[in-house]
């Protein structure tokens, strides 16, 4: 009989832990949760105090058998899943399913996978913390109730296949509201003035910015004219010491934000890479909202700084966590061994480790000491206006030797310089050039994944473990896209005073462009508006944050989890029933744009099964309404009547090829060309409304060449059977179903019998295509009838 069995939730973690334990220990993985709420129905017995109905996942049944056998063959079972609520729930599910008992089962936790940490955990085992389990159950059950009850209403009121989630819906609301702020923002024109001066030594040049902004070209011209006769004198030089302090070590939220800004990782990518670093024993646990560092970490970091930079660079700090509900017993994210500069791993792992290590070291280093100088330059004939310039000199670099935190905000001051040349109060300066530049006031910035995480944290919405899944889910559901936004060209004026002459130049710039920003889709906006109208409490930021506090109280043992659920359900369920039974005059999300000048029929924009579209006419008309899909960059919210009517100019005849028409149109999957009963998608670089016959000819020719190369082999025995080249290599296509060709097989050498044998030996689940989909659909329909 094996003496000890250790169960963790991931195979990578198991592999690392196994290295630290002797032959008396066997380490196995549960591969995450082994059971969850059953998928059929609600999966919660509401009438029986919200009793969850758990089932073992189909893909985990064999694993559970193996774990049961291993636990029966072991004297002591150590449950070593992660130390957060999710990890505690995994441990409890294992305890229940494997039918363990308190005598032979021990719960151990550690925030880093190192030999000392594992040994310390084994020396100090505890029992399962049922408060943490209840907090996880409360979140899981409440979120299931919200999703299960809201989603059918969205299918009924808006369109099929929609879904809603408690935290996800609030995150979408943030993005929708920001998009509307941007759409409603009216940029105002202003002029800022910079001037270049020559000091009395005749060599040194300084640049200053005027402390006033002008609103019109005429105001600027008047000001520049006045400078022709003005004298310029240094009125004040103010020098003062300053300092910069380092940022604290990383929490989950700040790691996600900084990894996005410094190394371009998405939030989910950051968490995936951090998970690998943790499981390999390189960093501490990566889901934390604590800024705390252990005394051992503080001492080893201090030693590392002293050895590398000297004792004057050391300033030991213990940061206080401001986040409510933060678990101070946990640590911030740090390297397990600070003196380890390099690690073995992928390029991504090395970059993230370097970021974490540098941030940890910098947090324990001395402040940077600065000297800031502000110079005020007076204008003899305009007492109210002054030119200002600033200089900043680093007297002692401190933590800046290692690390400087980035920001999402554009805070760079183009008027701040480094070391300023010698100058004195009353020095008279010579104006060499003054430039007034036309600018626009800045609209609110769209969210990046990183800035959305920061906003969620500020609002108290979600916890470290939920940020990445939330952002991934709202994109997967099609409510939000992360993409680029094309800007528009705008002319900007520049007026320059030089040699007593004012010259005007105009340059064109792109404004309003965005890259890798989060933007709501039409379905995201429509669902958001519907939920805010009918479920305002669920969509309320404070309500969502208060629920997080409720979960925290449950985790602390000061609140019963079923009481929280009962209170929520008593408020939520009656609203669900009322909204479900209500009727609306017109389709949710429909926007009436006006009247079609040709037919006199109403023109509307709305959301449908295949996305956003515009419609001329209504279902009540004798004639069938006309439909046209919105194209890229258009939205139900902003499309105009003129733009909508223009969409109906398709399909159009582009021209003729060999005496046959070429038609441009837009279908379910986007713009396409039709020629000789064949279809060719129109690339994004072309516009279906303006594409020329020459451009269309090239697209059609390339499509024909691609189709010709697609066919590897056809069979006279059955015209439905073909060997084709696909995106992932050669495959078999037969009767609208696709089959893989075994590795090492040359497709051209396969006979009809060889191919049919491959088809017959392919498991049903491995086949992909319409046949499989048809059977699945039929099965669903049968179940729904029952």
DSSP states of 146-192: HHHHHHHHHHHHT-TT----HHHHHHHHHHHHHHHHHHH----EEEE
Helix (H, G, I), strand (E, B) or coil at 37: strand
Residue 554: Cβ-neighbour burial (10 angstroms; 0-12, 13-18, 19+): buried
Q: Is the separation of the CB atoms in 268 and 472 below 8 Å?
A: yes
Cα 122 from Cα 728, distance rounded (Å): 48
Q: What value does the mean pLDDT of the chain take?
A: 90
Least confident range from 74-83, 109-118, 736-745: namely 736-745
Q: What angle do CA 672, 675, 677 make, to 5 degrees?
A: 100
Backbone angles phi, psi at 125, to 5 degrees: -75, 165
Q: Is the separation of the CB atoms in 682 and 664 below 8 Å?
A: yes
Least confident range from 39-43, 608-612, 681-685, 761-765: namely 761-765
Cα 531 from Cα 538, distance rounded (Å): 8
Name the band, by pLDDT with cuts 50, 70 and 90, for residue 449.
Answer: very high
Both structure tokens of 320: 């206080």
* Residue 128 vs residue 161, higher pLDDT: 128
Cα 500 from Cα 431, distance rounded (Å): 10
Cα 516 from Cα 505, distance rounded (Å): 33
* Residue 201 vs residue 708, higher pLDDT: 201
> What digits encode the pLDDT tens for the residues 411-438?
445 556 678 899 999 999 999 999 999 9
Nearest CA to 233 out of 425, 415, 384, 416 is that of 425
Q: What angle do CA 580, 581, 582 make, to 5 degrees?
A: 95
Element (H, E) at 554: helix 541-556
Instruction: Say if residue 356's pLDDT is above 80.
Output: yes
Q: Per-residue pLDDT averaged across 18-43, rounded?
A: 92
- Strand positions, DSSP E, 633-677: 652-657, 660-667, 670-675
Least confident range from 354-368, 472-486, 555-569, 578-592: namely 578-592
For residue 411, the model assigns a pLDDT of 46
Q: Per-residue pLDDT averaged across 368-396, rounded?
A: 94
Q: Is the separation of the CB atoms in 249 and 355 below 8 Å?
A: no
Cα 650 from Cα 630, distance rounded (Å): 12
For residue 770, the model assigns a pLDDT of 46
Helix (H, G, I), strand (E, B) or coil at 427: coil
For residue 764, the model assigns a pLDDT of 59
Annotated catalytic residues are: 285
Instruction: Say if residue 609's pLDDT is above 80.
Output: no
For residue 678, the model assigns a pLDDT of 86
Nearest CA to 551 out of 568, 576, 574, 575 is that of 568
Helix (H, G, I), strand (E, B) or coil at 76: strand
Task: Answer positive or negative: Cα dihedral of 302, 306, 309, 315.
Answer: positive
* Cis, bond preceding 578 (omega within 30 deg of 0): no
Q: Which of 394-408, 525-539, 628-642 holds the top average pLDDT?
A: 525-539
For residue 775, the model assigns a pLDDT of 36
Q: Is the separation of the CB atoms in 302 and 314 below 8 Å?
A: yes
For residue 620, the model assigns a pLDDT of 79
> What digits encode the pLDDT tens for the residues 239-280?
999 999 999 999 999 999 999 999 999 999 999 999 999 999
Q: Is the separation of the CB atoms in 541 and 458 below 8 Å?
A: no
For residue 342, the model assigns a pLDDT of 94
Q: How far apart are the first and last CA of the chain?
A: 50
For residue 705, the model assigns a pLDDT of 85
For residue 57, the model assigns a pLDDT of 87
Cα 380 from Cα 426, distance rounded (Å): 12
For residue 592, the model assigns a pLDDT of 92
Q: Characterise 676 by phi-psi region: left (phi > 0), alpha (psi -120 to 50), beta (else).
A: left
How many C-beta neighbours within 10 Å does residue 318 have?
Answer: 12
Query: What's the DSSP call for residue 550?
Result: H
How many C-beta neighbours within 10 Å does residue 376 have?
Answer: 17
Name the H helices within 280-396.
295-309, 347-363
> What digits encode the pLDDT tens for the residues 726-735?
878 899 999 8
Name the band, by pLDDT with cuts 50, 70 and 90, for residue 706.
Answer: confident
For residue 324, the model assigns a pLDDT of 52
The neighbouring-strand residues paired with 237 are 375
Residue 462: Cβ-neighbour burial (10 angstroms; 0-12, 13-18, 19+): buried
Name the band, by pLDDT with cuts 50, 70 and 90, for residue 777.
Answer: very low
For residue 779, the model assigns a pLDDT of 38
> What digits encode the pLDDT tens for the residues 282-303?
999 999 989 999 999 999 999 9
């Amino acid at each position: 009989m094996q003496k000890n069995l250790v169960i963790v939730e991931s195979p990578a973690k198991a592999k690392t832990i196994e290295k630290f334990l002797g032959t008396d220990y066997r380490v196995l993985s549960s591969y995450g949760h082994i059971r969850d709420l059953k998928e059929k129905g609600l999966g919660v017995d509401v009438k029986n105090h919200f009793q969850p109905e758990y089932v073992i996942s189909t893909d985990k049944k064999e694993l559970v058998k193996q774990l049961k056998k291993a636990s029966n063959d072991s004297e002591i079972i150590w449950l070593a899943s992660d130390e957060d609520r999710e990890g505690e729930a995994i441990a409890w599910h294992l305890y229940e399913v494997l039918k363990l008992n308190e005598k032979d089962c021990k719960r151990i936790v550690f925030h880093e996978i190192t030999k000392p940490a594992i040994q310390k955990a084994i020396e100090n085992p505890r029992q399962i913390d049922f408060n943490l389990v209840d907090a996880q159950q409360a979140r899981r059950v409440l979120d299931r109730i919200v999703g299960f009850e809201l989603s059918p209403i969205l299918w009924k009121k808006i369109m099929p296949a929609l879904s809603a989630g408690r935290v996800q819906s609030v995150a979408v609301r943030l993005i929708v509201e920001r998009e509307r702020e941007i759409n409603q923002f009216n940029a105002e024109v202003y002029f800022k003035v910079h001037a270049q001066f020559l000091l009395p030594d005749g060599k040194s040049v300084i640049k200053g910015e005027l402390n006033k902004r002008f609103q019109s070209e005429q105001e600027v011209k008047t000001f520049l004219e006045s400078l022709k006769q003005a004298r310029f004198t240094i009125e004040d030089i103010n020098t003062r010491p300053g300092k910069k302090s380092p940022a604290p070590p990383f929490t989950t939220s700040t790691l996600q934000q900084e990894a996005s800004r410094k190394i371009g990782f998405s939030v989910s990518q950051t968490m995936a890479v951090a998970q690998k670093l943790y499981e390999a024993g390189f960093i501490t646990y990566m889901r934390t909202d604590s800024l705390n560092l252990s005394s051992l970490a503080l001492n080893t970091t201090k030693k590392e700084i002293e050895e590398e930079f000297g004792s004057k660079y050391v300033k030991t700090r213990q940061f206080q966590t401001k986040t409510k509900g933060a678990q101070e017993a946990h640590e911030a994210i740090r390297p397990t061994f600070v003196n380890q500069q390099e690690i073995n791993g992928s390029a991504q792992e090395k970059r993230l480790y370097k970021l974490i290590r540098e941030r940890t070291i910098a947090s324990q280093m001395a402040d940077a000491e600065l000297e800031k100088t502000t110079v005020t330059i007076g204008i003899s004939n305009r007492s109210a206006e002054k030119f200002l310039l600033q200089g900043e000199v680093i007297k002692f670099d401190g933590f800046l030797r290692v690390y400087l935190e980035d920001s999402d905000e554009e805070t760079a001051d183009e008027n701040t310089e480094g070391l300023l040349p010698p100058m004195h109060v009353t020095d008279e300066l010579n104006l060499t050039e003054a430039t007034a530049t036309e600018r626009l006031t800045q609209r609110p910035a769209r969210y990046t994944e990183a800035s959305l995480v920061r906003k969620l944290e500020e609002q108290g919405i979600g916890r470290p473990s939920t940020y990445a899944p939330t952002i991934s889910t709202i994109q997967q559901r099609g409510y939000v896209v992360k993409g680029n936004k094309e800007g528009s060209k705008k002319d900007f004026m520049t007026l320059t005073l030089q040699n007593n002459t004012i010259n005007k130049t105009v340059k064109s710039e792109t404004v309003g462009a965005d890259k890798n920003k989060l933007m709501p889709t039409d379905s995201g906006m429509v669902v958001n508006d519907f939920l805010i109208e009918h479920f305002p409490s669920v969509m309320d930021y404070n309500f969502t944050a208060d629920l997080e506090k409720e979960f925290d109280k449950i985790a602390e043992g000061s609140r019963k989890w079923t009481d929280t659920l009962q209170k929520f359900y008593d408020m939520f369920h009656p609203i669900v029933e009322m909204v479900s039974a209500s009727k609306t005059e017109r389709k949710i999300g429909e926007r009436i744009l006006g009247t079609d000048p040709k037919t006199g029929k109403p023109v509307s924009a709305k959301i449908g099964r295949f996305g956003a579209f515009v419609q001329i006419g209504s279902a009540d008309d004798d004639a069938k309404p006309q439909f046209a899909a919105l194209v890229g960059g258009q939205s139900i919210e902003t499309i105009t009547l003129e733009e909508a009517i223009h969409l109906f100019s398709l399909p159009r005849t582009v021209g003729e090829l060999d005496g046959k028409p070429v038609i441009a149109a837009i279908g379910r999957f986007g713009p396409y060309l039709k020629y000789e009963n064949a279809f060719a998608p129109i690339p994004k670089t072309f516009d279906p409304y303006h594409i020329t016959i020459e451009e269309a000819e090239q697209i059609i020719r390339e499509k024909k060449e691609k189709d010709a190369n697609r066919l590897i082999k056809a069979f006279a025995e059955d015209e439905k059977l073909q060997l084709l080249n696909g995106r992932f290599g050669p495959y078999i296509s037969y009767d609208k179903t696709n089959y893989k060709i075994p590795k090492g097989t040359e497709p051209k050498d396969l006979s009809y019998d060889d191919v049919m044998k491959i088809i017959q030996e392919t498991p049903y689940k491995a086949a992909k295509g319409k046949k499989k989909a048809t059977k699945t659909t039929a099965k669903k329909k049968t179940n729904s009838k029952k």
